[in-house]
Structure formats: C-alpha cells, structure tokens
Amino acid sequence: MVSTELLEILRCPVCVREEGKEGNLNFVKDCWLICTDCSRKYPVIEDIPVMLIDEGDKWINTVTEDLPVPPPPVE
C-alpha cells in the first residue's frame, strides 16, 4: 500500500510545470494515480508509483473503469 504521506505530496509531473495547474492525484483501484487536471494515469506497481510522463501519456485516453488491475509492467 502506498503511504498516505506520499500520496499527499505526489503531483502530476506534467501539470506542475504549467501555471495555474495543481497536478493533484486521486488514488483509484488501489493501483492507479489519476491527475485531476489533465487525466493522465500513472500506475502503481508493487506499491511504487511510476510517475514517468510517458506512462501517464500512455493511459490518458483510457477511462477509469477500463484500467487494468494490476497494471501491466512498465516497459
């Protein structure tokens, strides 16, 4: 399980660069972080958030209900 303290400080790496965006993340399905600003989705694999922009981009158009559980390994 990802610690609450970590979840409170993590932000979307794309949105924090843009003025006016917070990049806050929601933890869903116990294995995904979804940005409230841009809808990028970052997998959490073995309790480690994979906050790579490429990973967030890969899942941006996937609706939350269709996200795989558990997330596939990062290539």
Tens digits of per-residue pLDDT, 2-45?
Answer: 888 999 999 999 999 988 899 999 999 999 999 999 999 999 99
Q: Which domains does the chain have, with CATH numbers?
A: 4-62 (2.20.25)
Q: Is the peptide bond before 70 cis (omega within 30 degrees of 0)?
A: yes
Q: What is the pTM of this model?
A: 0.93
The Cβ of residue 25 has, within 10 Å, a number of other Cβ atoms equal to 23
User: What pLDDT is attached to residue 37?
Assistant: 96
